[in-house]
Amino acid sequence: MIDVFPILRRLLHALPAETAHRVTVRALAMGIAPFARATSRPSLATSVRGLAFPNPIGLAAGFDKNAEAFAASTALGFGFVEVGTVTPRPQLGNPRPRLFRLPEDGAVINRMGFNNDGLDAVATRLARRSVPGIVGANLGRNKDSADAIADYVAGFDRLYGLADYLTINVSSPNTPGLRDLQARERLAPLLGALAGARAKRREGHRPILLKIAPDLLGDEACAIAELALDHGIDGLIIGNTTTARPVTLRGRHRGEAGGLSGRPLFEPSTRLLAAVYRGLAGRLPLIGVGGIGDAEDAYEKIRAGASLVQLYTALVYQGPGLLARILDGLAARLAADGLTTIGQAVGRDAARFGAENPKEGR
């Protein structure tokens, strides 16, 4: 199929960023997006925490906040799709405008503020799943909630039997106080409550992942990882958007408040990923997120220690055809390195990042 995205991109980028995003999600949900499916290769299949992924490339949370287009996204060929962030009660999020393109930087800044339809709406849509594919749910707390732990447990209980895995988001910079939950004295009770909630479930085991900020120091992130292990958490996602603003940014919206994602996040997030991989010595699977824009980026994340990777921002500029290019490129790189499975590449270059400060260059 001819790649029509360059034409669509001109039309979409003529719209405000949030409007263009909404149009894209609705088009996918309605099945009218003219995009071909990317094909996985046997060498890219992998198993993580009992889930069989056809390939390691996932669609990150934030694109399909309300679980409207996960079936269409899976059909495009993603190895897995993560919906949300969803909060117990619907909320409007922060005032608009709150989403900004930085095309010169291959980046986006957002301060959405967990705008979503709430647990009941998302649960209803997930309950209608009728096609195969791995779908995770990203959970958050309401901005005005007095009990963050209760919010996460409510989301966990509501979606446990409906999603294949659940991600605990304590790292968005756009909800006041949310990142404070990464502190040990607040994170330990939260993880303990979630472990207790899972112990009461009779359904099959659902992995719990913890999504952390890329702005942590390596030692801080490793301490969180050890705490996660102590409470039976199944993996870490490294990481969310960053509050840092590299001096190299050129886009006219570079001064906007919010979380920065895209190309500038690749190096710092990958250094932090490698630091955690080394610290854990393979005891916990990691998902690498931040700045992936081609097959080389995805392969570097994997070789730095990621069992799986996720992307989103690069799709804004390159469209869904990017997925096929990454899958083809990954298969070619595996073959060139004499490897037969993607799992054999995980962590092979983690030591290369050993002498670097995870916060350097931000």
What is the pTM (predicted TM-score) of this model?
0.94
What is the rounded distance in angstroms from the CA atom of residue 40 to the CA atom of residue 53? 10
Q: Are 339 and 89 in contact (CB under 8 A)?
A: no
Which 3 state secondary structure label does DSSP give 26?
A: helix
Q: What is the pLDDT of residue 355?
A: 47
pLDDT in tens, the chain (362 residues): 456 777 888 888 999 999 999 999 998 998 876 666 888 889 999 999 999 999 999 999 999 999 999 999 999 999 999 999 999 999 999 999 999 999 999 999 999 999 999 999 999 999 999 888 999 999 999 999 999 999 999 999 999 999 999 999 999 988 888 888 888 889 999 999 999 999 988 878 899 999 999 999 999 999 999 999 999 999 999 999 999 999 999 999 999 999 999 999 999 999 999 999 999 988 999 999 999 999 999 999 999 999 999 999 999 999 888 999 999 999 999 999 999 999 999 999 998 875 444 433 33
Residue ranges per structural domain of the chain:
5-351
**The architecture CATH gives domain 5-351:** Alpha-Beta Barrel (3.20)
Give catalytic residues, as residue numbers. 172
Nearest to 45 by CA among 56, 35, 37, 36: 56
Q: What is the pLDDT of residue 2?
A: 57
What is the rounded distance in angstroms from the CA atom of residue 319 to the CA atom of residue 36? 11
| CA distances to 84, 254, 322, 339, 360 from 104, in Å | 28, 10, 18, 36, 22
CB atoms within 10 A of CB 360: 9
Q: What is the pLDDT of residue 34?
A: 61
Number of residues that make up the chain: 362
For strands 208-212 and 165-169, give the pairing: parallel
Burial class (CB in 10 A: 0-12, 13-18, 19+), 185: exposed
Nearest to 80 by CA among 138, 160, 125, 7: 138
What is the rounded distance in angstroms from the CA atom of residue 122 to the CA atom of residue 84? 8
Nearest to 56 by CA among 48, 64, 68, 66: 48
